[in-house]
Amino acid sequence: MKFLLDTNILSEVRKPKPHGGVLAWFMANHQSATFAIPAIALFELQMGAEKIRKQDPYRAEVFDFWAGRIAGANNVLPLDAAAARETARLMSKQPTVLLLDAMIAAIAKVNGFTVATRNTRDFERFEVPLVNPFLFPKG
């Protein structure tokens, strides 16, 4: 199985005490699954770092380091031409607030991935395969 990790899943595994269901889901899938990260998640992570930079420069730098490590991985999927066109199709008659989710859904669709997210409600409208690791039984 191939999973595209939404930003909320990436953020969860970075926490000192991640949700038990998310950890159990990773442990159950880490040997047989392929995990990838949409470039859009890097955008969202960097936005988070920039948002806190003035109030907490140290925390922003830690975030920068983490995002940089993710950016350097070989499993980051871009918003390429096929995904950009698919995003436009998915966004037809949708509110613009869903644009980033539509981009992630499009990247998943054109690359044959299932989106792993806590936010399944907003993704359901895009008819992309979904999994919510937070609902996985805790180990």
pLDDT in tens, 39-66: 999 999 999 999 999 999 999 999 899 9
* CA distance linking residue 11 with residue 1, whole number of Å: 22
Nearest to 114 by CA among 9, 35, 56: 35
Fold of 2-12+23-39+76-135: Rossmann fold (3.40.50)
Tens digits of residue pLDDT in 59-93: 999 989 999 999 998 899 999 999 999 999 999 99
Per the CB < 8 A criterion, the answer to whether 106 and 79 are in contact is: yes
Angle separating helix axes 99-111 and 39-52, nearest 10 degrees: 150
Of the chain, the end-to-end C-alpha distance in Å amounts to 21
* CA distance linking residue 34 with residue 57, whole number of Å: 34
Q: Is the pLDDT of residue 139 over 80?
A: no
pTM of structure: 0.94
What pLDDT is recorded for position 8?
A: 96
What pLDDT is recorded for position 135?
A: 96
* CA distance linking residue 135 with residue 127, whole number of Å: 20
Nearest to 104 by CA among 48, 37, 47: 37
What pLDDT is recorded for position 86?
A: 98
* CA distance linking residue 115 with residue 9, whole number of Å: 10
* CA distance linking residue 104 with residue 4, whole number of Å: 8
